[in-house]
Amino acid sequence: MAHGTHIAITIGVGPDAVTRMRRVGPLSVNESLHRALNAASARIAHGGFTVEEARTELTDLLRKSPVYSDVVVAVAVGVACAAFGRLLGVDWVAVGPIFVAAGLGQTVRRQLALHKVNVFISAAVVAFLGSGLCGLGARWAGSHTLATDMIAPVLLLVPGVPAFNAQYDILEGYPSLGGARAVWVVMMVIFMTVGVWLAQGLLGEGR
């Protein structure tokens, strides 16, 4: 989820142009909506739309875009982190704790976002919570891969889309924008690491 997102719109009429920017708040990753909006903006840019028609077109896209419930997202995140855990080599008894910890972490992450908590603080809190809960559960279950177990639930925080966008912007000739995105990615990774490190230290797994 992206925080502090802004949108800039430039309208040109002949030699004159007006640019406006406004904050749009946190956004989730929705590639189907992204592609639909790109197609709609291209059609609108070719002309033939009134302001009301363009607004209706964009509003309909947003209304028809599928939105999954928080429960479905939490379950999907839990399954994904558990699967990644297996790829990283965790034993089977750790899969359950990873699933539960990642699902709870996603739920807490969502609530923190709704309450507009700083994204980096949120990442540290979710990493600490997910890693700590997983460590406790995996230790109780008798896992022998505890250090790796505690990393798997935090994979939900990996900023894959911002990292891709940073590389894309740099390669497309926008180094300032790409660099800013890259710094954001680095900060996210740092705060994630701090959360995991604190959880591992608390459980005596950081040594």
Q: What are phi and psi of 75, to 5 degrees?
A: -65, -45
Task: Tell me how crowded residue 199 is: count the other CB atoms within 10 A of its CB.
Answer: 25
Q: Which two tokens stand for residue 155?
A: 């994979």
Overall average pLDDT of the 27-31 stretch: 68
Q: Which residues contact 169 (CB under 8 A, 6 or more apart)?
A: 175, 177, 178, 181
Residue corresponding to tokens 């926008």: 174
**In the prediction, which pLDDT does 45 show?**
76
Higher-pLDDT residue of 138, 3 = 138
- What whole-number distance in Å separates Cα of residue 196 and Cα of residue 127? 6
- What whole-number distance in Å separates Cα of residue 108 and Cα of residue 122? 9
**In the prediction, which pLDDT does 25 show?**
62
**In the prediction, which pLDDT does 50 show?**
77
- What whole-number distance in Å separates Cα of residue 89 and Cα of residue 196? 18
Residue corresponding to tokens 């990283």: 88
Q: What are phi and psi of 2, to 5 degrees?
A: -95, 135
Q: What are phi and psi of 132, to 5 degrees?
A: -65, -45
pLDDT for residue 4 is more than 60: no
Overall average pLDDT of the 85-108 stretch: 94
Number of residues that make up the chain: 207
The model's confidence at residue 1, banded by pLDDT at 50, 70 and 90, is very low
pLDDT for residue 10 is more than 80: no
Q: Which two tokens stand for residue 96?
A: 């359950």
pLDDT for residue 105 is more than 80: yes
Burial class (CB in 10 A: 0-12, 13-18, 19+), 76: middle
Burial class (CB in 10 A: 0-12, 13-18, 19+), 133: buried
